[in-house]
């Protein structure tokens, strides 16, 4: 089995931690960001152990939260559009076969 190792930038890690600390559930934040929950928990733990968790400025995460919400909305719209496209493909195939 091949294990894929992903690299994240320090800026992404910091923004993810800020967002996780503001949200009620760290695991849901990790899922929204597309990273494993254990990874986000380990980043937060490292900050706690270093004693710099209370130095995290939570005020700049609003922009990241807005981006995540917009991403969630766009993913839903994309799923609807893909479903509609599949329906139209099936309808076009049906009418092509039954065309006189």
| pLDDT greater than 80 at residue 84 | yes
Q: How many residues does the chain have?
A: 100
pLDDT for res 54: 58
**How do residues 23-79 score in pLDDT, each as one tens digit?**
888 888 888 888 998 988 898 888 888 776 655 655 555 566 777 888 889 999 999
| pLDDT greater than 90 at residue 13 | no
Q: For residue 48, give both structure tokens.
A: 């706690």
| pLDDT greater than 60 at residue 96 | yes
**The Cα angle at residue 16 between residues 13 and 18, in degrees rounded to 5:** 110
CA distance 13 to 50: 15
pLDDT for res 59: 58
* Cβ burial 36-48 (10 Å sphere, 16+ → b, else e): ebeebeebbeebe
- For the whole model, what pTM was predicted? 0.52
pLDDT for res 68: 80
CA distance 67 to 37: 19
């Amino acid at each position: 089995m091949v294990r894929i190792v992903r690299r994240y930038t320090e800026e992404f890690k910091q923004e993810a931690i800020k967002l996780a600390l503001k949200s009620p559930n760290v695991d849901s934040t990790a899922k929204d960001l597309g990273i494993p929950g254990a990874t986000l928990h380990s980043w937060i733990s490292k900050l706690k152990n270093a004693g710099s968790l209370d130095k995290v400025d939570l005020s700049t995460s609003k922009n990241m939260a807005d981006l995540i919400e917009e991403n969630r909305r766009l993913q839903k719209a994309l799923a609807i559009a893909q479903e509609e496209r599949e329906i139209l493909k099936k309808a076009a195939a049906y009418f092509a076969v039954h065309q006189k």
